[in-house]
């Protein structure tokens, strides 16, 4: 009973600042921007933006997979180090997060631009400048760079929490290194992978700043369109409808990941 | 011991804000004046030019200016809608003033507090957007043209709006990031009026802008300064006054007023309805209108002044600058914006959004997505079959 009481401030916070705004979003999504009457037009007109929704999802899926591929070995290596080194490395991973997200993205712009630092070096060597910025690759790069720590940290936590005796047991029972990883370490780190994927995918799919700075007019994402509806065009109803659809799509994507990780989880328990 | 220390610290933390609060109430008679202006639109003391806000605060020590900026009339309008009482002085352009007046969002000015209004040139009185001179005092005027980098752009290609559609410079062209100015470029190129609400004409312009999209590096406003000065982009339509600021940073930049015509605009000082410090706002407006301030301020900005008396306080060079003060002949090609009807501006917003979100790669994405879904289903099936087999194997092993 006591413990439930302790959660009360958070419950109030959730109600006031998450649930109530959510209902406002739903209300706006189903009303007309001028008359305020009930309408489905906002949701219907979203089909015009199918490409943008699909692009947002694809670019963030790519960014999430790259984060996972880069992040897993890093997390694994950190978890193998001595506790003192672990603390230092953990802090180094956190370090970029201490700096403003906008500043980090702008720094990439300065690096990648046609007249940026990298291309300046390249041209001074007599090579033609490379098209580094304003393409999907640059947007994915921006997402990976900004969200990589959110992948590494949960992975590191789940790997470092593993009981070393399980690995010893597997080795005693004749598993080679590859099989120890495949049958013990990887399955046990699945919760970390799931939360890592969620923590990278969700902010990446709804991002709006990265694509504006590193992308071209042709790589506009859902976040950009939603932002423009609230900032310049003042059609919050369409913006709300888009946020709603985006939220549903995110839930579907997370559902798919959870389904697969849970599946294999059970398998481990059985084998 | 530790506990005691933490209690003391906690108490200290509770007390400090109380003191801080009493400190602020002590200085209650200072007024904070919220000024909401365009980016890069006041002389701020750089390069030895006048620092207008500091001068104002020195002249009126009990007024503190809280200066904020916007990058388009539309952004300013949206902010005004969401937070109507946040600003005391705003600087909208002509068509936006007309719209704000028709929606009853502006305060009538008390001209007893703005004696410097007498310096205003007669040609800027009784303007179409504020026919009775009740709501606004002109701040600057100017016109839109095309800025290009003469190092990369062939002189023969210049002269018309079609430079913005020239495929030779693909990826090096910038475009306005607001519907009104962007549509104006298309309307002038196609020979339509700047205030057209004709659906067919607007959709023709939309097609034209969609065609341009592949050549555009970015849709930007204030970032044009940085991108043009560093030669990241070579061509951009923008306001003549801002060109004069940019050319000081990069000498290769040139400017022309397109032959098809251009938008001629006035930006004026207004007070939004319900402003909290109306009197201080009027003092500020009056201060900006005094020739001794207006002259040096606009000399830095490069925009043209509606107060001829202010020219005395300007550099000769600026006075005779053909870009800041073009000939009557050139000015006759200019057209002013009028406020569009509610439906007209909504249509334009929708068309503008369709330009910015237009795409020709939907097919590719649908194929990718279908392929991914098929893969997911196959993976799911394989896993399910494997699981079943494993269970049946194990059950077989136990021989129940």
pLDDT above 60: residue B397: no
Best B78, B235, B377 member to test A by mutation, with max A CBs in 10 Å, is B78
Write the Ramachandran bin of B126: left for phi over 0, alpha for psi from -120 to 50, otherwise beta. left
Among A113-117, B5-9, B300-304, B315-319, the least confident range: B5-9
Per-residue confidence (pLDDT) for residue B95, from 0 to 100: 92
pLDDT of residue A130: 87
At B204 the three-state DSSP class reads helix
Residue contact A51–B365, C-beta within 8 A: yes
Looking at the domain that runs over B142-264, which CATH code has it been given? 3.40.190.10
Query: In which band, very low, low, confident or very high, does the pLDDT at B396 lie, cut at 50, 70 and 90?
Result: low
Look at residue B26 in the predicted model and tell me its pLDDT: 41
The residue extents of the domains of chain B are 28-140+266-323, 142-264, 364-400
pLDDT tens per residue across span B271-292: 999 999 999 999 999 999 999 9
- The predicted pLDDT at position B222 comes to 87
Same-fold call for B28-140+266-323 versus B142-264: yes
pLDDT score, position A264:
54
Element (H, E) at B203: helix B199-213
| pLDDT confidence of residue B321 | 84
Considering the domain delimited by B28-140+266-323, tell me its CATH architecture: 3-Layer(aba) Sandwich (3.40)
pLDDT score of B399: 47
Mean pLDDT to the nearest integer, B305-314: 89
pLDDT given at position A97 = 87
pLDDT at A260: 76
Nearest CA in chain A to B373: A256
Q: Hey, what domains does chain A have and what are their CATH numbers?
A: 51-270 (1.10.3720.10)
Contacts of A258 (CB under 8 A, 6+ apart): A194
Query: Per-residue pLDDT for B400 more than 70?
Result: no
**What is the token pair recorded at B341?**
């009807």
Confidence of residue B181 (pLDDT cuts 50, 70, 90): very high
Unique residue bearing structure tokens 């046990």: A188
Q: What are phi and psi of B314, to 5 degrees?
A: -110, 165
**Are B346 and A49 inside 8 Å of each other by CB?**
no
ipTM (interface predicted TM): 0.81
Confidence bin at B20 (pLDDT 50/70/90): very low
Residues of chain A under the 50 pLDDT cut: 270-271
- The yes-or-no verdict on residue B332 having pLDDT over 60 is yes
Model pLDDT, residue A192 = 92
- Please tell me the pTM assigned to this model: 0.83
- Model confidence over A89-122: pLDDT tens digits? 999 999 988 889 999 999 999 999 998 999 999 9
State the number of CA atoms in the 13 A half-sphere of A23 facing the CB.
6
- List CB contacts (< 8 A) between A267 and chain B: 386-387, 390
CA dist., res. A265 & res. A187, Å (int): 6
pLDDT of residue B202: 96
* Paired tokens of B352: 């503008």
Structural contact between residues B95 and B339, judged by C-beta atoms closer than 8 angstroms: yes
**Residue A229: per-residue pLDDT:** 86
Q: Please say if the pLDDT value at position B191 is more than 50.
A: yes
Q: What integer pLDDT is reported at residue B11 of this predicted model? A: 54
Residue B326 Cα, gap to closest chain A Cα (Å)? 32
Residue in B78, B365, B380 closest to A234 by CB: B78
Separation between Cα atoms, residue B41 and residue B245, nearest integer Å: 11
Write down the mean pLDDT value for chain B.
88
pLDDT of residue B17: 46
Kindly determine whether residue A50 and residue B368, on different chains, have CB atoms separated by under 8 Å: no
- Where is pLDDT greater, at A155 or B9? A155
Provide the pLDDT confidence category of residue B25 given band limits of 50, 70 and 90.
Answer: very low
> How far is it, in rounded angstroms, from Cα A1 to Cα B100?
57
Q: How many CB atoms lie within 10 A of CB A257?
A: 15
Q: Please give, rounded to a whole number of angstroms, the shortest distance from the CA of B162 to a CA of chain A.
A: 19
* Nearest partner of B369 among B360, B380, B377, B381, judged by Cα: B377
Q: Which of A68-77, B333-342, B359-368 has the lowest mean pLDDT?
A: B359-368
Residue B42, pLDDT score? 93
Query: How much is the pLDDT for A82?
Result: 92
């Amino acid at each position: 009973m006591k413990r439930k009481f302790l959660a009360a401030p958070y419950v109030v916070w959730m109600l006031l600042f998450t649930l109530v705004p959510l209902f406002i979003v739903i209300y706006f999504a189903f009303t007309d921007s001028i008359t305020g009457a009930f309408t489905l037009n906002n949701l219907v007109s979203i089909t015009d933006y199918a490409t943008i929704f699909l692009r947002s999802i694809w670019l963030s899926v790519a960014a999430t997979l790259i984060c996972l591929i880069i992040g897993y070995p890093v997390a694994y290596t950190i978890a193998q180090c001595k506790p003192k080194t672990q603390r230092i490395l953990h802090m180094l991973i956190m370090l970029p997060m201490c700096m403003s997200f906008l500043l980090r993205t702008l720094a990439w712009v300065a690096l990648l631009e046609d007249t940026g630092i990298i291309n300046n070096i390249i041209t001074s060597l007599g090579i033609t400048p490379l098209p580094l910025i304003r393409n999907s690759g640059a947007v994915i790069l921006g997402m990976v760079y900004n969200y990589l720590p959110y992948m590494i940290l949960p992975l590191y936590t789940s790997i470092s929490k593993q009981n070393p005796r399980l690995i010893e047991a597997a080795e005693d029972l004749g598993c080679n290194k590859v099989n120890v990883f495949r049958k013990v370490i990887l399955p046990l780190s699945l919760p970390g992978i799931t939360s890592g994927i969620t923590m990278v995918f969700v902010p990446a799919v709804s991002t709006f700043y990265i694509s504006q700075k590193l992308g071209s007019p042709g790589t506009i994402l859902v976040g950009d369109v939603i932002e423009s509806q609230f900032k310049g065009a003042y059609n919050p109803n369409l913006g709300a409808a888009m946020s709603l659809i985006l939220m549903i799509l995110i839930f579907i994507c997370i559902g798919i990941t959870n389904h697969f990780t849970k599946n294999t989880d059970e398998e481990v328990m059985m084998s | 011991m530790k506990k005691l220390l933490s209690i003391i610290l906690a108490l200290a933390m509770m007390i400090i804000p109380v003191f801080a609060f009493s400190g602020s109430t002590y200085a209650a008679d200072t007024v904070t004046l919220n000024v909401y202006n365009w980016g890069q639109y006041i002389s701020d003391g750089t390069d030895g030019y006048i620092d207008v806000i500091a001068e104002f605060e020195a002249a009126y020590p009990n007024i503190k200016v809280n200066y904020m900026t916007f990058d388009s009339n539309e952004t300013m309008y949206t902010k005004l809608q969401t937070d109507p009482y946040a600003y005391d002085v705003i600087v909208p352009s002509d068509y936006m003033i007309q719209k704000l007046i028709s929606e009853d969002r502006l305060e009538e000015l008390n001209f007893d507090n703005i004696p410097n209004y007498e310096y205003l040139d007669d040609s800027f009185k009784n303007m179409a957007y504020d026919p009775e001179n009740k709501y606004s005092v002109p701040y600057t005027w100017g016109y839109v043209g095309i800025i290009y980098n003469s190092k990369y752009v062939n002189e023969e290609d210049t002269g018309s709006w079609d430079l913005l559609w020239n495929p030779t410079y693909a990826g090096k062209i910038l475009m306005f990031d607001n519907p009104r100015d962007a549509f104006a470029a298309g309307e002038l190129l196609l020979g339509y009026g700047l205030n057209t609400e004709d659906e067919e004409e607007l959709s023709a312009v939309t097609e034209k802008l969609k065609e341009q999209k592949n050549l555009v590096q970015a849709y930007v406003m204030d970032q044009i300064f940085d991108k043009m000065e560093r030669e990241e982009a070579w061509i951009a339509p923008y306001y003549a006054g801002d060109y004069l600021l940019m050319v000081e940073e990069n000498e290769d930049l040139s400017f022309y007023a397109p032959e098809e015509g251009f938008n001629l605009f006035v930006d004026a000082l207004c007070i939004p309805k319900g402003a909290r410090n109306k009197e201080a706002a009027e003092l500020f407006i009056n201060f900006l209108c005094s020739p001794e301030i207006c002259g040096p301020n606009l000399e830095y900005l490069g925009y043209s002044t509606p107060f001829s008396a202010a020219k005395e306080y300007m550099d000769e060079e600026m006075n005779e600058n053909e870009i800041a003060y073009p000939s009557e002949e050139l000015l006759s090609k200019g057209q002013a914006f009028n406020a569009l009807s509610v439906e007209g501006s909504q249509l334009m917003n929708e068309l503008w959004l369709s330009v910015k979100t237009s795409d020709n790669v939907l097919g590719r994405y649908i194929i990718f997505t279908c392929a991914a879904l098929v893969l997911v289903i196959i993976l799911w099936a394989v896993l399910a079959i494997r699981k079943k087999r494993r269970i049946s194997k194990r059950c077989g092993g136990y021989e129940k």
